[in-house]
Chain A
Amino acid sequence: MTRVALLAAALAAVYFSGSGYLVNLAVVTALFALPALGLSLLMGYTGQISLGHAAFVGLGAYASAILAKSLGLDPWLALALAVVATTAVAWGIGWLVFRLRGHHLAMATLAFGIIVHVATVEMKGLTGGQDGLSGIPPLSVFGLELGTDRAVFPLAWLACIAAILLAENLVRSPAGLTMRAVAENEAVAASFGIAPDALKRRIMAISGCYAALGGAIYGHYLGYISPGPFDVGFSIRLLLMVALGGFAGIWSVLFGVVFVVVTSELLKPFGRFDVVIYGVLLVVVMIYCPRGLLDGLGLAARALGRRLAGARAAE
Chain B
Amino acid sequence: MSAPLLEVRGVAVRFGGLQALDAVSLDVAPGEILALIGPNGAGKSTLLNVVSGALRADAGSVRFKGRRIDGLTADAVNASGLARTFQGAEVLRAMTVRENVMAAGAARAGAGVVQGLAWLGPARRALARLAAEAESHLATVGLAALAAAPASSLTAGQQRLLAVARALATGAELLILDEPGAGLNATEKAFLAEVIERLRSHGKTVVFVEHDLGLVGRLAERIVVLDHGVLIAAGLPQQVRSDPRVIEAYLGNAQIGVARAASATRPAAPLLEVRSVAVSYGGSIALDRVSVQVGEGEVVALVGANGAGKSTLLKAIAGAVDPQSGTIAFGGAEIHRVPAAARVGRGLSLAPEGRALFGSLSVRDNLAVGRFGRLRAAGLRQILWPSGEEAAALEAAIEDVFRLFPRLRERASQLAGTLSGGEGQMLAIGRALVNRPRLLMLDEPSFGLAPQVAKEILEALPRLTGQGISVLLVEQNAQAALQISDRAYVLVGGRVAAEGPSAALAADPEIAQTYLGWEGARDTPIPGPANDDRFNRFSTVTYEEVKP
Contact = CB atoms under 8 A, between A and B. Distances in A.
Are A and B associated in one complex?
yes
Interface of A: 166-167, 169-170, 172-178, 180-181, 183-185, 187-196, 199, 202-203, 206
A174 B102 contact: yes
Nearest to A163: B117
B54 A178 contact: no
A313 B88 CA distance: 45
A175 to B, nearest CB: 4
Interface string B344-359: 0000000000000000
B79 A193 contact: yes
B199 interface: no
Given A173-B119, A184-B92, A199 B78 contact: no
Shortest 4 CB-CB distances between A and B: which pairs?
A173-B116, A175-B116, A190-B74, A169-B119
A192 B107 contact: yes
A181 B93 CA distance: 10
B103 A173 contact: no
Nearest to B172: A193
B124 to A, nearest CB: 8
11 contacts: A177-B102, A178-B107, A180-B92, A180-B99, A181-B103, A183-B94, A184-B92, A190-B54, A192-B75, A192-B78, A196-B75
Contact of A173 (B78, B93, B127, B169): B127
Given A191-B78, A192-B103, A192-B107, 13 more contacts: A169-B116, A169-B117, A169-B118, A170-B113, A174-B106, A174-B123, A174-B126, A176-B116, A178-B103, A189-B75, A189-B103, A191-B74, A193-B107
Q: How large is the interface on B (under 10, 10 to 19, 20 to 34, 35 or more residues)?
A: 35 or more
Contact of A175 (B75, B79, B113): B113
Interface of B: 52-54, 73-76, 78-79, 83-86, 90, 92-95, 99, 102-109, 111-113, 115-119, 123, 126-127, 130, 166-167, 169-170
Contacts of A177: 95, 99, 102-103, 106, 130
A199 B113 contact: yes
Q: Specify which of A166, A173, A203 lies most central, judged by the most chain B CB atoms within 10 Å of its CB.
A: A173
B138 to A, nearest CB: 15
A175 B109 CA distance: 9
- By secondary structure, the B interface counts as helix
A250 B102 CA distance: 21
Nearest to A198: B75
A176 B102 CA distance: 11
A206 B84 CA distance: 31
Contacts of B75: 189-190, 192-196
B86 A188 contact: yes
A73 to B, nearest CB: 26
Contacts of B103: 177-178, 180-181, 189, 192
Contacts of B102: 174, 177
Contacts of B109: 174
A193 B108 contact: yes
Nearest to A167: B117
A184 B111 contact: no
B108 to A, nearest CB: 6
Contact of B92 (A166, A175, A188, A193): A188
A149 B187 CA distance: 68
B477 to A, nearest CB: 31
A191 B52 contact: yes
Contacts of A174: 102, 106, 109, 111, 116, 123, 126-127, 130
Nearest to B81: A193
Contacts of A206: 113, 117
Contacts of A190: 53-54, 73-75, 78
Q: Specify which of A176, A190, A193 lies most central, judged by the most chain B CB atoms within 10 Å of its CB.
A: A193
A193 B72 CA distance: 12
A192 B127 contact: no
Contacts of B119: 169, 173
A194 B127 contact: no
B111 A175 contact: yes
Q: Specify which of B79, B104, B108, B169 lies most central, judged by the most chain A CB atoms within 10 Å of its CB.
A: B104
B92 A181 contact: yes
A202 B123 CA distance: 17
B483 to A, nearest CB: 40
A255 B111 CA distance: 30
A211 to B, nearest CB: 16
B83 A191 contact: yes
A177 B92 CA distance: 11
Contacts of A173: 111, 115-117, 119, 123, 126-127
Contacts of A170: 113, 116-117
Contact of B123 (A175, A193, A196, A199): A175
Contacts of A180: 92, 94-95, 99, 103
Q: Specify which of B76, B112, B126, B166 lies most central, judged by the most chain A CB atoms within 10 Å of its CB.
A: B112
B165 to A, nearest CB: 12
A166 B118 CA distance: 6
B150 to A, nearest CB: 13
A173 to B, nearest CB: 3
A192 B101 CA distance: 10
A187 B73 CA distance: 11
Contacts of B99: 177, 180
A178 B106 contact: yes
B347 to A, nearest CB: 38
A203 B111 CA distance: 15
Nearest to A47: B94
B166 A192 contact: yes
Nearest to B52: A191
A175 B83 contact: no
Contacts of B106: 174-175, 177-178, 181, 192, 194
Contacts of A169: 116-119, 123
A23 B73 CA distance: 51
A207 to B, nearest CB: 11
A188 B127 contact: no
A303 to B, nearest CB: 21
A193 B130 CA distance: 15
Nearest to A195: B75
A175 B86 contact: no
A188 B85 CA distance: 8
A192 B54 contact: no
A201 to B, nearest CB: 10
A29 B107 CA distance: 35
Nearest to B99: A177
Contacts of B126: 173-174
B415 to A, nearest CB: 22
Contacts of A188: 86, 90, 92
B85 to A, nearest CB: 8
A179 to B, nearest CB: 8
B117 A166 contact: yes
Nearest to A184: B92
B163 to A, nearest CB: 9
B78 A193 contact: yes
Contacts of B54: 187, 190
A191 B95 CA distance: 17
A192 B79 CA distance: 8
A241 to B, nearest CB: 21
A180 to B, nearest CB: 6
A247 to B, nearest CB: 11
A193 B100 CA distance: 14
A187 B49 CA distance: 11
